[in-house]
Amino acid sequence: MPKRDLISIEDLSRADVELILDTAESFLPVLERDIKKVPTLRGRTIINLFWEASTRTSSSFDLAAKRLSADTLALKASGSAVEKGETLKDTAITLSAYSPDIIVMRHPSAGACQTLSANTEASVINAGDGKHQHPTQCLLDLFSMRQNLGRDLEGLRVFIIGDILHSRVARSDIMGFQMLGMEVTLVAPPTLMPRGIEEMGVKVEYDLANLKDADVLYLLRIQKERLKAGANFLPSLREYSELYGISRARLRPGQRVMHPGPINRGVEIASDIADDDENLIAHQVFSGLAVRMAILYRTIVGYSDGAVSGEVV
Amino acid sequence: MERTWSKSGPAADLLIKGGRVVDPEAGIDAAQDVLVTKGKVVELGKDLKPGKNAKVVDARDMLVMPGFVDLHTHFRTPGREDEEDLATATAAAAAGGYVAAFGMANTDPVVDTATVLRGLAETARAEAAIPVGFFAAVTRGLAGEQLTEMGELGAAGAVGFSDDGRPLATAALTRRALQYVKVSGRFVAVHAQDDSLFKGGQMHEGPVSARLGLTGIPSLCESLDVSRTLDVAEYEDAAVHICHVSTAASLAVIERAKAAGVRVTAEVTPHHLTLNDEAIAALDPNFKMNPPLRAESDRKALVEALRSGLLDCVATDHAPHAAEEKDVPFEEAPFGCIGLETAFSVLYGALVMNKALDLGTLVIRMSTAPARIAGLPAPSVSPGAVANLCVVDPRARWTVSAVGLQSRSFNSPWLGRELWARVKLTLAAGRVAWEDLA
């Protein structure tokens, strides 16, 4: 079986995506047991390479691998040979000597997963590369939607609001949401909206006037560095919050709020929404574990054999 | 006055039999034998007899054309001979049918004094398989501050002046350069780029960069600087050459300037004529160049402009990079690709075979026109001319591979691709520079 990478959400067909979500669902009972571990990937080796800061993604990949009984190895740029100037190619060759089954990587540069994949026999899973893609975030978002809003997401209207220009999550989510039949609208200040993005089949808006049409509001983090002098993406956080921040007053009943985290309270999301039980934010984090277990499992056993049998679990 | 140099060698004595001679300047497009004696074309005709030491080349079903001239090569010498030197670059050029090539000044050290230029000329006399010449920098160290001694550099044989790789950052600098270059009788070649719009750019800005999440380089980044440069050229009545034009917006600016009588010439690369930004999707660093591969609508406009003559010539922007420099994530890779060896094959296959461009026009854009811009006699296959010609098998298919290339580097976007048309023989300055005959 040739190795299978997951670099872009486009590497998956709709059937693959649904299989991952079904597989994740079948792992949920495991996570409710006292002994939250299955022997499924015993003897397999999974390496987590995080060249950029991460809490949710790195911890959930690590835990997902452990729940499946795989051996794991976690490496960060600081304290590794990267600090001595080792190239990614050489890091890939070095780690490949341990014959890992999967290397999960987050990297600041788009294209890093391709470089890694070209230099290892291991399957590469992209845990975020530059502003390019974050496919596992998209899959966990889809899982949270399916668990909370119903299995059929067809026709659901999602507004993705915030810094689209710099967001790898937005790009993966647009593709993944559309794959499952959702309608996507992007809302951002014009300075943070990529030119030509409407060719992805999304609606582009610069204000929240049509927010009432949304079933789901997917908020993106506004990073402080967009405010650096001379960058001129935004005049101030205050104005961003005023024009694009989501508080209870802007929501109608039934609208659900999502956010990939970490959140900026008082900027893109008001505390009343952040603390509300109705939002899916905590569920997204919860989903990360089951979905990443499913991704690791499918990457190793393949996408062709239907749902996970009870025996395997 | 000399402005190219190459190593010496025996003058060619050859009878090239039965090829289709395509030399639009001389009004020739017919099957002819070409007799080359002592490095000169002496006769064209049917059933010519070889002289007594002449080798006979069977050129049936092949094209015999004036050799090509490249106005935009990065020889990487001095300073980065691990990537390319004059011997490997000219071997690659000769294998691509080129009979002359001109190097840009962004070497280490920069070609900003006559001493460096004379040193290169000396190296060329020892190593270069075809005549090569050199641009000198517009500003010392390419720093954009102080003009080079253009008078002395011109006298030492600089073909022109360029800070290629860097734009002339201000209108004031552009103006001074276009004024002072007149002391040399040469021209300035401009890498048009508004740096304030370039910052952090990775690829063409548009739907593809939006989808991929790579920082875009807007077409405006180029056309704004082309516009400013040509306004200055008009004001100063100076000759200026625009390097590697990549956008339809720049073409519109150049068209207006030419109509107004501005003395502007412009070049376009084989990659901008045949590839578009969709090629970036796989994030292969060999497709990362500056200017970037543009939208399909830009590409089509470039082809039409090359056909019409709005774009005067093809230039490769041959930019070798060491394997370890390109074998990194796309966003970390340097800009540039090689092109000398593949230029004709790529353009023949993508444009001539698809009837987007006729062969005669391509020959003019690759040979006659760039030679004139450089101030060289145009290569010709007519009697009396020094033999500067190439013989190409248009039906030969070949696969671009790292091991088969003459260049020391192999950062080609066509790596692994099968191309049409292979150069079988190149005569440059009357000598055999490349031979790949069965």
Report pLDDT digits (tens) over B57-103.
999 999 999 999 999 999 999 999 999 999 999 999 999 999 999 99
Q: How far is B396 from chain A (nearest CA, A)?
A: 31
Report, as an integer, the average pLDDT of A104-126: 97
Count of helices and strands (H, E) across chain B: 14, 18
Q: Which two tokens stand for residue A18?
A: 């649904």
Which domains are seen in chain A, by residue range?
A: 9-134+285-301 (3.40.50.1370), 135-280 (3.40.50.1370)
For residue B218, the chain A residue with the least C-alpha distance is A195
Percent of chain B clearing pLDDT 70 (strictly above): 100
Interface ipTM? 0.93
Would you call B58 a catalytic residue per the annotation? no
pLDDT tens-digit series, residues B129-140: 999 999 999 999
- Minimal Cβ distance to B283: which of A87, A111, A168: A111
pLDDT tens-digit series, residues B170-194: 999 999 999 999 999 999 999 999 9
Q: Is the pLDDT of residue A83 over 80?
A: no
Report, as an integer, the average pLDDT of B208-234: 98
Report in angstroms the alpha-carbon separations of A13 from A111, A167, A179, A247, A304. Answer: 21, 22, 8, 36, 12
Q: Is the pLDDT of residue A82 over 80?
A: no
Provide the pLDDT for residue A308: 56
**What are the residues of chain B with a beta carbon less than 8 Å away from any beta carbon of chain A?**
202, 205-216, 218, 282-285, 324, 327-333
Question: Hey, are the CB atoms on A87 and B328 less than 8 Å from each other?
Answer: yes
Question: Hey, are the CB atoms on B211 and A130 less than 8 Å from each other?
Answer: no
Question: Hey, are the CB atoms on A111 and B324 less than 8 Å from each other?
Answer: no
- Contact between B406 and B72 under an 8 Å Cβ cutoff? The reply is no
For residue A91, the chain B residue with the least C-alpha distance is B328
Count of helices and strands (H, E) across chain A: 9, 9
Report, as an integer, the average pLDDT of A143-155: 96
pLDDT tens-digit series, residues A245-303: 999 999 999 999 999 999 999 999 999 999 999 999 999 999 999 999 999 999 999 99
How would CATH label the architecture of B66-379? Answer: Alpha-Beta Barrel (3.20)
Q: Is the pLDDT of residue A71 over 80?
A: yes
Kindly report the average pLDDT of chain A as a whole number. Answer: 93
Within A150-194, residue ranges assigned H as helices are 168-179
Taking the mean position of all CA atoms in its chain, how far away is CA B78?
A: 19
- Minimal Cβ distance to B329: which of A111, A171, A199: A111
Provide the pLDDT for residue A229: 81
Q: Is the pLDDT of residue A214 over 80?
A: yes
Provide the pLDDT for residue A310: 43
Q: Which residues of A touch B215 (CB under 8 A)?
A: 131
Question: Hey, are the CB atoms on A87 and B284 less than 8 Å from each other?
Answer: no
- Minimal Cβ distance to A196: which of B206, B213, B284: B206
pLDDT tens-digit series, residues B290-324: 999 999 999 999 999 999 999 999 999 999 999 99
The one catalytic residue in B23, B33, B277, B317 is B317
* Angle at B258 (CA atoms; ends B252, B262), nearest 5 degrees: 125
Report, as an integer, the average pLDDT of B352-358: 97
Distant-in-sequence, close-in-space partners of A23: CB < 8 Å, separation ≥ 6:
A294, A297, A298, A307, A308
Q: Categorize the per-residue pLDDT at B195 as very low, low, confident or very high, splitting at 50, 70 and 90.
A: very high
Question: Hey, are the CB atoms on B331 and A199 less than 8 Å from each other?
Answer: no
Q: How far is B278 from chain A (nearest CA, A)?
A: 13
Report, as an integer, the average pLDDT of B225-253: 98
Provide the pLDDT for residue A313: 45
